[in-house]
Amino acid sequence: MAADGGGQEVVRVFNSNALHMKSKGKTREGVNDVLTQGDLLSHRLMVHSLSASFPGLRIISEEHSSVEDNALEITPIHVSDELLYDDKYSKLPFGLEIPLGELTVWVDPLDATKEYSEGLTKYVTTMVCIARNGEPIIGVIHKPFSSETYWSWKGNGMSSNIESALKTYNKTKDTFRAIVSRSHAGDVDSIIKKSLSNEYKDIEVIPAAGSGYKT
């Protein structure tokens, strides 16, 4: 739900044409590491809404709050009955209690920022990972421009869209598909084809962006 809310900020900023792009420097591959208003406002909503809902929760975000952000009033996440019956969350288990001190939440308020700034919105996601005593137990990937949310909770189920994808997935011995970074793939394409050419008849290397999209 925090990922969904952050995604709404990402879309709102994009539609307002107010990205206010900055550079955080260069990646190891020499690609410009972009920061936008979408990153910051999504971070602010996701982190502060979680903090307001669960005071004392340890949250780690890719971005960082400013003094002004910390002074803003953010409404805690409200979970309505209508929301719980939404198909995106209908598979969630209820009634489970976990001590707050055992949890750490990682937040990526906007994955694929470079593509976001270029208008390639299909690659954009917001993501949340929850770990218990250092072990990841919940993963959430939200695609804000198509309003799709994918989640999985170790030992407690997964979203219906993941279940459907697993049922229809058809693995063949003749075809191998790999998704690689579109911006800094390096020599991965040639390495994959060279390494697997004797094992697979067809090898398809698909360039894509963002950890969330590739997942």
Binding-site residues from annotation for Mg(2+):
62, 108, 110-111
Binding residues: 62, 108, 110-111
**All residues at 6 or more sequence positions from 59 whose CB lies less than 8 Å from its CB, including other chains:** 47, 50, 51, 104, 105, 106, 107
| Rounded (10°) CA dihedral 22, 212, 123, 21 | -10
